[in-house]
Structure 1
Amino acid sequence: MPVSTARCPQCPVTPRGDGPALFISDLHLSPALPRTVQVFEDFLRGPAREASILFILGDLFEYWVGDDMLGADMPVSGRDAPAASTTSASATTTEPLGAFARRMTAALAGLAASGVPIAVMRGNRDFLLGERFARAAGAVMLDDPCVFSFLGQALVLSHGDQLCTDDVGYQRFRRVAHSPLGKAFFLALPLRVRMALADRIRRRSAARGAHRMAYADANQHAIHALLDATGERTLVHGHTHRPARHADGRRVRWVLPDWEFDVTPPRGGYLQWDARGLRAVDLAPSTSGLPAADATDTDTDTSDG
């Protein structure tokens, strides 16, 4: 099923000041990944404080099975780390689930309190992020996709999973899971049951990963359909964990990196948009797959002609 382009609203958040707009995604935060969590907290206290707005384009958390996680006290064991991170040096953690969720939310709220607007898009792992989370984090939830206008130009923003249309099985699951009925049914289950189901789905997905690599990337027809429908020329998304800058004529697609600092080599970074254009910033130099930090894209003009 192609990405829905019937309604592609403008981003409802207004940047502040003249700092850059920053874009991150696919951090997959978990208490079992302490180094990744530490880099994220340092990022919020460092580069993000100079931003005019911070965009989190999905999969901030390894999973989020409902905003009632914020009040949970169940421990989360090291087995909840991403199954693909087999080289992780992280030690097993028993930090309660609710405590970790509250700690990450408080870190975001600290950035928001400093005056930096935060815009959060749901991903395939945390599509159940809701308004309770948004209020606690001082964030605004975004539609997927949406258009962000800045410096007289515009970008289309998406998590990216809707663009992977070759994975028919996942798109079928997504339609059911993201439907109002599907979400209501899942959220009616006890929290422990939801956590167990999420972990089972994640592990099954990881086990199938080697056989699905050819289907994991965004479909070119879906990309062009989205840009055609919006009339824009530049797309920023995550999800695929294949960071790159793709140029096709006058159209440009930036793919954000996933963050994983508990493996060797570590990887992670963000996209920065300022008066010089778009540029990738690598938080783990020479390891994330991103273009060099000084790689810029100044042609984000989406006007005709």
Structure 2
Amino acid sequence: MSTPPLLPQPVPSIQAPLHWQRVDFISDLHLDASEPATFDAWAKHMAHTPADALFILGDLFEVWVGDDTQDPFALQCMAALKTTSQRMPVFFICGNRDFLVGPDLFNATGVQSLSDPTLLDLGSDEGATRTRILLSHGDALCLEDHDYLAFRAQVRQPEWQAAFLAKPLAERQTYARSVRSASEARKQSHAQDPDFAGYADVDTQAAIEWLKAVDAQVLLHGHTHKPAMHDLGQGLTRWVLSDWDADAQPPRLEVLSWQRTQAANTTQGLQRLPLSV
């Protein structure tokens, strides 16, 4: 097993106020102008969810090449984020597709940036189970995806990002399209390979080590597009968020929701809420 990434000391944390009765978690929407139905479903949920807080765990956008974008679709997404953040706290962990989201977007929308990982302490009411959730995009824990982790280490360097963001916007957009095309070609080639066992998943032992290090019961992440709840033993679980695709059959539009009234259940108050198109 590869060595799991070191946790920052201390791990950033959020103490949820007791008036938070419902918290929504979403990730891997990969919003893109070419998929308007997915955007519409997301915008509808953002406008109408009764949640008291919303956490976006990466890959909200299919690609993000800098906060200086003037792309009409990107501005439309930012407007939806701003409207929602004016009525509830909205938090964002960058993913592998939108790691270049920066302070200008956060300042313009009111969305709050989070480190990866961040600990969310939801507390408990009297007699209810204490719930501490470690939030991550999840890509850093896919320890067997060696090529991706090497790429991730490069592009997360401040020097690389500064050099990339200094390039003309058109050049950055061309690069992003090439990366996306290469990714799609890789998916298609694997789809035709009967011996392909699937993309690397989060490493179980690494997930356990992270949870124990911060005294959390739940690791919650996206990235893998393999929605599930994994029992890790010792009272620990790993919940994986679904990606979104309104045009799939059936559509994949799912919110993972924590509700305080359900927190005494063995599922730690978490439940999946499929949305209608």
2:183 equivalent to 1:205: yes
Question: Using a 3 Å threshold, how does the CA distance of structure 1 residues 224 and 170 change in structure 2: closer, same or farther?
Answer: same
Question: Does 2:240 align with 1:252?
Answer: no
The count of aligned residue pairs is 255
Partner of 1:6: 8
Distance 1:8 1:156 in 2: 13
3-state SS, counterpart of residue 67 of structure 1: coil
Q: Deviations over 1:91-146 (max 9, x none)?
A: xxxxxx2x1111111111111122x0000010000000011101111111000001
Counterpart Cα distance in 1 of 2:10 and 2:228: 24
Flag the 1:16–1:62 CA change in 2: closer, same or farther, 3 A.
farther
Q: 2:200 aligns with which of 207, 210, 216?
A: 216
Structure 2: gaps of 5 or more residues? 125-130, 263-268
Q: Please tell me whether residue 274 in structure 1 is matched to residue 259 in structure 2.
A: yes
TM-score by length of 2: 0.86
The change in CA–CA distance for 1:268 and 1:201 in structure 2 (over 3 A counts) is same
Residue identity matched to 2:41:
V
Change (3 A) 1:215 1:51: same
User: Are 2:14 and 2:119, in contact at CA under 8 Å, matched by a contact in 1?
Assistant: no
Alpha-carbon distance in structure 1 between the residues aligned to 2:55 and 2:37: 21
5 Å-filtered alignment, 1:1-305, equals 2-7=4-9, 9-12=11-14, 17-47=19-49, 50-69=50-69, 72=70, 97=71, 99-114=72-87, 116-152=88-124, 153-209=131-187, 210=190, 214-249=198-233, 250-275=235-260, 276=262, 277-284=269-276
Over 4 Å off, 4+ runs = 12-16
Secondary structure class of the residue paired with 1:207: helix
Q: Which amino acid aligns with 2:213?
A: A
Judge conservation of contact 1:21–1:274 (CA < 8 Å) in 2. Answer: yes
State whether residues 36 and 260 of structure 1, in contact with CA within 8 Å, keep that contact through their aligned partners in structure 2.
yes
Over aligned residues, Cα RMSD in angstroms? 1.9
After superposition, the C-alpha distances for 1:67-98 in whole angstroms (9 at most, x for unaligned) are 011xx2xxxxxxxxxxxxxxxxxxxxxxxx2x
Are the structure 2 counterparts of residues 217 and 145 from structure 1 closer, same or farther at C-alpha, using a change threshold of 3 Å? same
Kindly provide the CA deviation profile for residues 186-212 of structure 1, in whole angstroms up to 9, marking residues without a partner as x: 111111111111111122122223267
Deviation at 1:11?
3.6
Instruction: Give how far 1:248 is off.
Output: 2.0
C-alpha distance in structure 2 between counterparts of 1:247 and 1:233, whole Å: 11
Pairwise CA distance, 1:257: 0.3
